[in-house]
Structure 1
Amino acid sequence: MVGVFVGMKLRVMRHALRGNRAIGTILGGVVGLAAAVATLSYGAVSFADPGTSVDLLASIYALWLLGWILGPVLMGGDESLRPEHFSLLPLSGRKLATGLLAASFVGVTTVVSLVAFAGLFVYGQRLGGGAALVGLVFTVLQLVLAVLLYRVVTGLLGALLSTRKGKDLALVVVALLTLSGVALQYVLHTLGPAIIDGQASELTSVTRALPSGWGAVAVRAAGDGQWTTVLLLAAAMVVLLAGLLLAWAKLLARRVTHPAYHGVAKSRAKRTGRALLPATPLGAVVGKELRSWWRDARRRTTMFSAMLVGPVIMIGPSLYDGSAATFASGAGVCLAFYVPLYTGNLYGFDGSGFWHTLLTPGAIRADVRGRQLAWLLIVGSVGLACCLVLPAATGHPSTYPLVLSLFAVLVLAGAGSVALQSAMAPYPLPDQRKTSNPFATGGNAGCAKILPLLGMELLAALTTIPVIILEVFGRTQDLPVLRWLEIPVGIAIGGAFYWYWGKSAVARLTATGPEILAELRVSV
């Protein structure tokens, strides 16, 4: 049965990896392989203190394990073989878990990770034949641990999001995973040199105790002839893997036997007071979109994650480098630039429901403008709060004109680019009635569809040049009036892109609506 699942995965990959998608996969594999080779090389480096190699490898492998959890959760899980496809087959949960686990090892990510974990074998070769053998065994065990842990975490979050309270809890988990990027930056810039110098004993004690560090500890123990320690660590790893496999089998069984879709929920809300939105087609679309971004687990997870990552990129460095506090004041600007990159598939979220808009006379324009306005209300309110609070909180109030003007350009242009990208290159997503995992992307935009969005974001970034020129001239000539003039200039530039790209999205949907509907109806 394992061979059947592996063969299915290989066939899916053979049909999927074509054209631009294959190019993107190759480029990603090359970058990942470079990081893996760098990790492997640390196993061959000799240090004055023999324990430094263990500390360094244990810490690096903790980051790789974190990447297996954080990366797929934020970017979307691999759902090319979904458990629901096998719900009618006489397979036990354990057999299904084993088969899908075997299929999970077929991919570029696992090959790259295997090269990285092979650093244990390289390290063991320096200590003798027995240590090299132990390193080879733990290379395989740690790869299995990474894949299994990723599957359990994504399966657990998917199960949690089948309930309303679970959805809120899972979003907190996503927030914590996103904020862990701050810890990653701190490790790379501060703790890395400290580990090599032997000045991070508390951290290395923790990384050695984590399962990701057991391999390095076991190889060192084998080199010292402490075979009892090696056997205990190997037995503990096997027990942990067995427990994760059983947990994943139960999660799969629940996912197959308890579909996420339970019909239309009855609304208990009662209208009190006058509605804030006008009783027009535009107001209806805005209201619908606001409720969808809040209630739809997949939409909410995408928006919430994207909003967090941008500020983390800017605020993170300031936590360990005081000179980077100026960048933290621009977290709202980074948010406005980053969120459109992840939310430019509005019609993909709707799927075949797009036919309602397509068949309603005159509805396309209201639909596009309503989606733009709803997106702007959500992203703009959060980003504006960051722009108003952070410059003063970081001790750089002089950056207010520049921050607010850049934010105005990017958030308004972002609302336009999201609409146009959704009309130009929507791609289907898995039916939420068949899967409870909000991180499952199933469909893939591919390079051909991602590049236009990147191009639009780059163009929006280039249009900030007039604002930057005013900022430079105002500072050099000591003219505060010019600096505050940046804000209306930024609003005018961003507003022009908001209007023009929205108009282009309306024209695109009007001209190619049936073709877009046909593509969104494809089952993934």
Structure 2
Amino acid sequence: MAVVLIRMRLALLRHALRGDRASSLVLGTVIGLILAVGTVAVAVFWPPLLPAALAVWLMGWIFGPIFTGGGEALRPEYFTMIPAAPRRMATALLAGAFASPAVMITSVALTSMAVYGWRFGLLATLVALVAAVITLITMVLVSRVTVAIFGLLVRSRAAAVLAAFVTGTVLALSGNGWALPVAAATAEDLSWAGALVRLLPSGWGIAAIESSPPAALGILAASALVVVLLVAVWAVLLTRRVTSAARGGVPARRRRPRPFPMVRGVRAVAAKELRTWSRDLIRVHLLSFAFFYAVVFTLLPVAIGWWGMVPFVGLIAVLMGAGVSANLYATDGTALWLTLMTPGAERADVRGRQLAWLLAVGPATALLSVAGAAASGETWAWPWVAGLFPAVLGGAAGLVVLVAVTAPVPATDPHRRGGDPLSSGADEGGETGLVWLMLIAVPVTALPAAAAVLIEPWAGVPVGVATGVLCVWGFGRIAARRLASGGTELLALLKYGSAAGRTVREEEAAAAAPDLPLGHKIAVIVCYSLAWLPLFPQGIVPMFFKLFGVEDRVWFLALYLPDAWQWPTITLMISIGLLMYGYAILFPMRYRAPETEQA
């Protein structure tokens, strides 16, 4: 059975090497190999840092699949009807999991253990090779067990909030985690960190290499026993997962539901939406993620004594809340037909969703804004927070419904979701694109308020309020008209997928339009992934530092240069970021346009 699953995994990988997936896979493989070679270089030039480098790989195996939807090409639900023992099925699925580029890349990185063992002699090198194999198996198994536990535990709102804390913290570390190494570089005693990374499973092989032969044999035997135990635990978790997936993975309600208030119109939709925001595990998780990400992201620079981001914690929470809510209609699935079958209900549905979103996000983010501005002690930030917050909140409330009805990413109906209650079944790339769209579009709505603050600090408050109200009313009006005129096509899209709303001519044109060359695909992905670095951290943020006289240089390149070169460098960085985004967005459109017109 293991051989069959390995062949299935390789076949899925082979068929996935098309279009954008091929570009992403190639780019990810190249980056992974560069990091793997870097790990080997650490073993050669900085041997004491090797346990920390291997711990980073272990963390990648633990948290990476959580952010990528579990990382399962062969889902256990596909094999529920096969008459096989749970442990045999777990072993076969484990073998199939090894047929992936990630395992190959990690194997290259773990050759650093053999390089490290060569320093201690031939016997230590043999121990390192055995330890590298056991470490690789342990990493994959720990990843699978973590994903399985994550999926089984997230069956309640409290667990969904806890999962949001984990994912929000890790993602915030990827953005502002640079502050921790900077703070650690100034610390006096870091011996505890070295001891901690050696206690992780990734450090057991290093301990075996450095030990005497009997001790090394005992460490390897204990590591192999841990592998056997992990396989047994995974078999039990797989059994729980496939049996709970039959009822949607969510336990039945045991308490009697409260009666629904007898209201109509906008109030009825808002009441229904508020209950959905508090009961749907996906929405609870996403909204909690937005709050935790904003708090951790702004507090990380405090480790080096910089409080400049803390006043804007509420604004960042609004931006992330808008990003994770941009697929609002698709998460409800085909329940849209209830709205379409009610004459004239489109406007009430849009306005009710806006009101519910404002009630779910507004009070909490306003409290965060006030608390952040007060705790930071940055008095210059009060006019900015007071002026930008209503503009950003109103712009987000308007754009959420507008994007939800114009660019939805089809998802699985809530009652048909699989074993992972936090997976909506939507295309992850499409949902990520909506998040980036909101992160760019929502700040644009606050530009008038920002300009007013620059002219007269407290003049931004009325401008921000007016802008926010106008965005809520105007974008909501457009969304309601769009829903009324194209609701049938939207329902077909949510029910049948992206091909449902296309005509025959559009299908032929889409089939005739060629894909981008591989080099340009990789360039587009690189631009999308890295354009934010020169635009925001190295361009816009130091620009505000210069405007408001903030003297902390932190890690901004322009502020380390002489005064005559600071503004040109800031302008150059912003230009590079805009050019990268322009290339990533416009080049594919320009490349495909002539061929599509001919088709």
The answer to whether the superposition gives a TM-score over 0.5 is yes
* TM-score computed with the length of structure 1 as normaliser: 0.83
Match of 1:49 in 2: none
- State whether residues 218 and 230 of structure 1, in contact with CA within 8 Å, keep that contact through their aligned partners in structure 2: yes
**Separation of aligned partners in 2, 1:489 and 1:31:** 45
Match of 1:428 in 2: 411
- State whether residues 332 and 387 of structure 1, in contact with CA within 8 Å, keep that contact through their aligned partners in structure 2: yes
Q: Mean alpha-carbon deviation: is it higher for 63-72 or for 86-95?
A: 63-72
**Separation of aligned partners in 1, 2:348 and 2:280:** 21
**Separation of aligned partners in 2, 1:430 and 1:95:** 32
The answer to which structure, 1 or 2, has the higher relative contact order (CA under 8 A, 6+ apart) is 1
**Separation of aligned partners in 1, 2:259 and 2:253:** 17
Secondary structure of 2:133 counterpart = helix
Structure 2 CA distance for partners of 1:432 and 1:200, relative to 1, 3 Å:
farther
**Separation of aligned partners in 2, 1:496 and 1:113:** 52
1:352 to 334, 340, 349: 334
Match of 2:128 in 1: 135
- State whether residues 387 and 450 of structure 2, in contact with CA within 8 Å, keep that contact through their aligned partners in structure 1: no
Aligned 1:101-120 pairs, distance under 5 A: 101-120=94-113
State the one-letter code of the partner of 1:252.
L
Structure 2 CA distance for partners of 1:355 and 1:518, relative to 1, 3 Å:
same
1:376 to 358, 370, 375: 358
Structure 2 CA distance for partners of 1:3 and 1:494, relative to 1, 3 Å:
farther
- Shift of residue 210, structure 1, vs aligned partner: 1.8
Match of 2:463 in 1: 489
Match of 1:301 in 2: 285
- Shift of residue 391, structure 1, vs aligned partner: 1.1
- Shift of residue 411, structure 1, vs aligned partner: 2.6
Aligned 1:252-271 pairs, distance under 5 A: 252-258=238-244, 259-261=246-248, 265=253, 268-270=256-258
Match of 1:471 in 2: 453
- Shift of residue 80, structure 1, vs aligned partner: 4.0
The count of residues paired between Structure 1 and Structure 2 equals 491
Alpha-carbon displacement from aligned partner over 1:122-160 (angstroms, at most 9, x marks no partner):
333454444444333333333322222222222223222
Match of 1:6 in 2: 6
2:420 to 417, 432, 437: 437
**Separation of aligned partners in 2, 1:432 and 1:119:** 47
**Separation of aligned partners in 2, 1:332 and 1:498:** 19
1:82 to 66, 71, 75: 75
- State whether residues 77 and 441 of structure 1, in contact with CA within 8 Å, keep that contact through their aligned partners in structure 2: no
Alpha-carbon displacement from aligned partner over 1:473-507 (angstroms, at most 9, x marks no partner):
4xxxxxxxx21221222233344333444344334
**Separation of aligned partners in 2, 1:203 and 1:462:** 43
Alpha-carbon displacement from aligned partner over 1:252-298 (angstroms, at most 9, x marks no partner):
111222334479747624459xx6xx822222221111111211122
Structure 2 CA distance for partners of 1:251 and 1:234, relative to 1, 3 Å:
same
Please say if 1:336 is aligned against 2:318: yes
**Separation of aligned partners in 2, 1:193 and 1:101:** 43
Alpha-carbon displacement from aligned partner over 1:300-357 (angstroms, at most 9, x marks no partner):
1222123211221111221x211x2121221112112223333322233222333323
Structure 2 CA distance for partners of 1:308 and 1:118, relative to 1, 3 Å:
farther
Structure 2 CA distance for partners of 1:220 and 1:395, relative to 1, 3 Å:
same
Secondary structure of 2:385 counterpart = helix
Q: Mean alpha-carbon deviation: is it higher for 299-308 or for 111-120?
A: 111-120
- State whether residues 449 and 467 of structure 2, in contact with CA within 8 Å, keep that contact through their aligned partners in structure 1: no
- State whether residues 362 and 393 of structure 2, in contact with CA within 8 Å, keep that contact through their aligned partners in structure 1: yes
1:202 to 192, 198, 223: 192
State the one-letter code of the partner of 1:249.
A
2:218 to 232, 243, 252: 232
Structure 2 CA distance for partners of 1:11 and 1:339, relative to 1, 3 Å:
farther
Secondary structure of 2:332 counterpart = helix
**Separation of aligned partners in 1, 2:29 and 2:480:** 37
State the one-letter code of the partner of 2:158.
D
**Separation of aligned partners in 1, 2:434 and 2:62:** 29
Secondary structure of 1:325 counterpart = coil
Structure 2 CA distance for partners of 1:398 and 1:179, relative to 1, 3 Å:
same
- Shift of residue 431, structure 1, vs aligned partner: 5.6
Match of 2:597 in 1: none
**Separation of aligned partners in 2, 1:206 and 1:34:** 26
* TM-score computed with the length of structure 2 as normaliser: 0.73
1:409 to 370, 375, 391: 391
Secondary structure of 1:190 counterpart = helix
State the one-letter code of the partner of 1:437.
D
- State whether residues 161 and 436 of structure 1, in contact with CA within 8 Å, keep that contact through their aligned partners in structure 2: no
**Separation of aligned partners in 2, 1:511 and 1:80:** 39
- State whether residues 345 and 421 of structure 1, in contact with CA within 8 Å, keep that contact through their aligned partners in structure 2: yes
- Shift of residue 97, structure 1, vs aligned partner: 1.6
Structure 2 CA distance for partners of 1:271 and 1:257, relative to 1, 3 Å:
closer
**Separation of aligned partners in 2, 1:113 and 1:104:** 13
- Shift of residue 110, structure 1, vs aligned partner: 3.6
- Shift of residue 518, structure 1, vs aligned partner: 3.9
Match of 1:242 in 2: 228
Secondary structure of 2:45 counterpart = coil
**Separation of aligned partners in 2, 1:504 and 1:453:** 20
- State whether residues 101 and 148 of structure 1, in contact with CA within 8 Å, keep that contact through their aligned partners in structure 2: yes
Structure 2 CA distance for partners of 1:503 and 1:291, relative to 1, 3 Å:
same
- State whether residues 75 and 439 of structure 1, in contact with CA within 8 Å, keep that contact through their aligned partners in structure 2: no
- Shift of residue 437, structure 1, vs aligned partner: 1.8
